[in-house]
Homo-oligomer: A and B are copies of this chain.
């Protein structure tokens, strides 16, 4: 009565993962907001009624996609930044774009639903984004940066990564350079001096 173990639990876990992957695959096509419980269950190979054994509704499934699937990818990128050698911006791009290549649907989901229709999903994805941003702030010269600089850098990063997936290899190289350049501008490494005054009146 206390524990139900091994075989039974593992099987449930596999179906749950199938639902998450099915939803990810389908939202790359139509967008998460337009997904139906029956559609996702069909794609996962179970009866519609079985959906409820795993999630209360589509909203709960969406938040789980964020906290588990996106969360794991972000954790990898954070680890790469923490451990990385050389310029932060390059390490950051390579880690994030690498993750995007391994799982293109995941970053598309991330970018699209960060501004999507579901408030709870937006909030959950914003939290994932903030995790990476605070990792970046820690890796930079914190005292000279506006609080939102790292957030801006991450917003740009994921946007460009998602767009780069649709491009040719040549274009990707150009986008990498352009994105690394922008992130370096936004996140000067420790010791680097900013050439731009913090507010207004640069030219005039």
CB within 8 Å of B: which residues of A? 30-31, 33-34, 86-90, 111-112, 114-118, 146-149, 152, 155-156, 159-160, 162, 174-175, 177-182, 184-186, 188-196, 198-204
Bound-state CA distance A190–B174 (Å) is 23
Other A-B contacts than A90-B200, A181-B199, A189-B203, 4 sampled, CB-CB below 8 A, are: A33-B117, A148-B182, A155-B155, A192-B203
Bound-state CA distance A88–B196 (Å) is 13
The answer to whether B146 and A156 have CB atoms under 8 Å apart is no
Given contacts A117-B31, A195-B194, A200-B90, A182 and B186 within 8 Å (CB-CB): yes
Number of copies: 2
Give the residue of B31, B114, B152, B185 whose beta carbon is less than 8 angstroms from that of A178: B152
The answer to whether A182 and B149 have CB atoms under 8 Å apart is yes
Contacts of A204 in B (CB 8 A): 86-87
The answer to whether A195 and B198 have CB atoms under 8 Å apart is no
The answer to whether B152 and A182 have CB atoms under 8 Å apart is yes
The answer to whether A192 and B196 have CB atoms under 8 Å apart is yes
